[in-house]
Amino acid sequence: MDIVALLLTLRLAIVTMLVLVLLALPLSYWLATTRWRGKIFIEAFASLPIVLPPTVLGFYLLVLLGPQTAFGRQMIRLLGHPLAFSFSGLVVGSVLYSLPFAVQPMVAGFAAIDPAMLEAAAVLGSGRWDILRRIMLPLSRSSILVAAVLTFAHTVGEFGVVLMIGGNLPGLTRTLSIALYDQVQDFAYAQANRTALVLLVVSFAALTLLYSQRRKGRLV
Amino acid sequence: MSNLPPSHDTQTAWLSFQLHHAFAGFHLDAQVALHHPWTILFGPSGSGKTTILRTIAGLFTPDSGQISLQHETIFARLKNSPCTANVPPLRRRIGLVTQAPALFPHYTAAQNVGFSLRRLSATERNRKVQALLQIFHVEGLHDHFPSQLSGGQQQRIALARTLAAEPRLLLLDEPFSALDRTSRQEALSGLRQWLQQREVPVLMVTHDLAEAFSASDEVVVLESGSVIAQGKADEVLHIQRAQLLKELGVPSGP
């Protein structure tokens, strides 16, 4: 059992989840409330990772973050090292890769709130921020939880993006799913079996938590 | 129709508005000045009543028009130009109660009523909420969530929630139409009790003739987006009244 890889995977999943919830909340709020028609392009872009092969996303990120582009050179100068083949690079890749799993439940949650309720709050003297804090966030609590669990589970199960952008550096970018691949390549099936089981249990536990909370949420 | 065209004396009016808006196949073109404490906006479905109330509350922006509330211009816009005045709904201090109570499902009845009172201290807020719940005979429902309340109870909580914000104008969009008689009377008597202590004018929308005749100082009759009459109920609604009596088989007098 590759404990180092397990801890790295959990760390990546948790950091990605936190970054994504913070990033997707304002984006989803904007998508759910704006009347700007061009938002369809943003929505399509944010959903791309669902259909795109992870290797395509990883490839573009690798190019973008590398010394071939001005942006990549700027990042290298800023950080002192390339973003690719580092933990931060993995986080950037994971955040993009799981973006739709955070944005879609949140947008659906915000959009499901009865507009009459938001108007009632406005007429009662609430501004946008107050309505968000006291009406929209509490009423979409379960959607935010769904987003958090899905991004966590999705990041745990990530393979292609991590391999492309992170390489396979033990302790640095080698996550469980990649360790599993290596173990199978080495014919270490007993080890691979344990790794696979851990991945299965973590994902199953995350989704069980999700559904248990959903059932509770129905009562409110 | 003695009062056609309606009086436009905006000097003494507490609310005056002129609104123009073209929907697909519908043209709203209404100009009204209101002087009485309780005014009924009467008209058939689709005559533009709800749009007028939503516009006054700031929830809808018409093509052009002007709204003055207690001599303050809260909305002004010339055709095809941006608004020169448009006070956002949260600063208009206008109460709006519609057919749907739209209570906040994650707050208790008391929290709903106290929604606009977050600047008050907890004791002051409780006192005010409790007083309003008492007026509407729902003080026992303090800790109930909206899902545990009947439609009539929800509507009374919604009224109490609106009054808690101390509006300077109360807009009622058929708030009692879905209620049974008892609930309706309890809601109305609570509302009257509250209004007695304050000088808050009411503009109430209805398409119910009986409601238009009861307890109103003035009726504004709206038809397909235009004001066709304004005055006392028996002056401006005699045609509708005669029609209703005929339908009921009652001789309509001389």
- ipTM score: 0.86
Closest CA of chain B from A36, distance in Å = 17
Closest-CA distance of chain A to residue B13, Å: 23
More confident residue, B233 or B58: B58
pLDDT confidence of residue A111:
93
**Mean pLDDT, rounded, for A140-160:** 92
pLDDT at A215: 62
Which strand (E) or helix (H) includes residue B61? none
Contact status of A119 with chain B (Cβ, < 8 Å): yes
What is the predicted pLDDT for the residue at A216?
A: 57
Closest Cα in chain B, distance from residue A150 (Å) = 25
CA of B55, closest CA in chain A: separation in Å? Answer: 12
pLDDT of residue B207: 81
Contact B102 A220 (CB under 8 A): no
Nearest CA in chain A to B145: A220
Contacts of B106 in chain A (CB under 8 A): 138-139, 220
Query: Does residue B112 sit at the A interface (CB-CB below 8 Å)?
Result: no
B70, pLDDT greater than 50: yes
Q: Tell me the percentage of chain A whose pLDDT exceeds 70.
A: 96
Per-residue pLDDT, B4? 39
pLDDT category at A218 given cuts 50, 70, 90 is: very low
Number of C-beta neighbours around residue B232 at 10 A: 15
Interface membership of A120 toward B (CB under 8 Å) = yes
Name every chain B residue with its beta carbon within 8 A of the beta carbon of A125: 90-91, 93, 116, 165
With a pLDDT cut of 90, the percent of chain B lying above it is 51
> Using the beta-carbon criterion (under 8 Å), do B102 and A119 form an inter-chain contact?
yes
CA distance B231 to B5: 10
SS3 B241: helix
Residue B6: per-residue pLDDT: 46
Among A113, A119, A124, A132, most B C-beta atoms within 10 A, so best to mutate, is A124
Note whether B90 contacts A125, CB cutoff 8 Å: yes
pLDDT in the model for residue B247: 81
Distance from chain centroid for Cα A54: 13
Q: pLDDT confidence of A23, banded at 50, 70, 90?
A: very high
- Compute φ and ψ for B114, nearest 5 degrees: -85, 10
Whether residue B1 has pLDDT greater than 50 = no
* Interface membership of A190 toward B (CB under 8 Å): no
**Per-residue pLDDT at B8 exceeds 60:** no
pLDDT at residue B253 is higher than 80: no
- SS3 at position B75: strand
CB contact under 8 A, A124 and B165: yes
How far is Cα A145 from Cα A210, in angstroms, rounded to an integer?
7
CB distance B161–A124 less than 8 Å? yes
Q: Cα dist. B11→A105, A145, B16, B123, B218 in Å?
A: 53, 56, 9, 41, 18
Please write the tens of the pLDDT for every residue from B171-189: 999 988 878 888 888 888 8
Q: Is the pLDDT assigned to residue B251 strictly greater than 80?
A: no
pLDDT at residue B252, rounded to an integer = 55
Confidence (pLDDT) at A219: 37
Residue A73 burial (C-beta neighbours within 10 Å; 0-12, 13-18, 19+): middle
Residue numbers in B near A138 (CB within 8 A): 106
Residues 6+ apart with CB under 8 A from B224: B26, B27, B46, B47, B48
Is A123 at the interface with chain B, CB within 8 A? yes
Inter-chain touch B59–A119, beta carbons under 8 Å: yes
Cα dihedral A181, A186, A189, A195 sign: negative
Q: Do B59 and A126 touch (CB under 8 A)?
A: no
Residues of A in contact with B175 (CB under 8 A): none
Average pLDDT score, chain A:
90
Query: Is the pLDDT confidence value at A41 over 90?
Result: yes
Chain B residues in contact with A135 (beta carbon < 8 A): 104
Is the pLDDT at A220 greater than 60? The verdict is no
pLDDT, mean of residues B89-115: 94
Tokens 């709904």 sit at which residue? B89
Please report, rounded to a whole number, the percentage of residues in chain B having pLDDT higher than 70: 93
The pLDDT assigned to B215 comes to: 61
For the segment B139-162, the average pLDDT, to the nearest whole number, is 93
Confidence (pLDDT) at B5: 44
Nearest C-alpha in B relative to A217 = B106
A116 touching B, CB under 8 A? Answer: yes
Please give the pLDDT value at position B246. Answer: 82
For residue B88, give how far its alpha carbon lies from the nearest alpha carbon of chain A (Å).
9
DSSP, res B225: T
Mean pLDDT of chain B: 87
Query: CB distance B59–A124 less than 8 Å?
Result: no
Q: How many CB pairs under 8 A join A and B?
A: 55
Does B104 contact chain A (CB < 8 Å)?
A: yes
Could you tell me which residues are beta bridge partners of residue B205?
B41, B173
Question: In which band, very low, low, confident or very high, does the pLDDT at B2 lie, cut at 50, 70 and 90?
Answer: very low
pLDDT at A71 over 60: yes
The pLDDT of A108-133, averaged and rounded, is: 94
Biggest alpha carbon–alpha carbon distance for chain A: 67
pLDDT beyond 90 at A132: yes
Closest-CA residue in chain A for B171?
Answer: A123
Question: Contact B59/A123, CB-based, under 8 Å?
Answer: yes
Is the model's pLDDT at A37 over the cut of 80?
yes
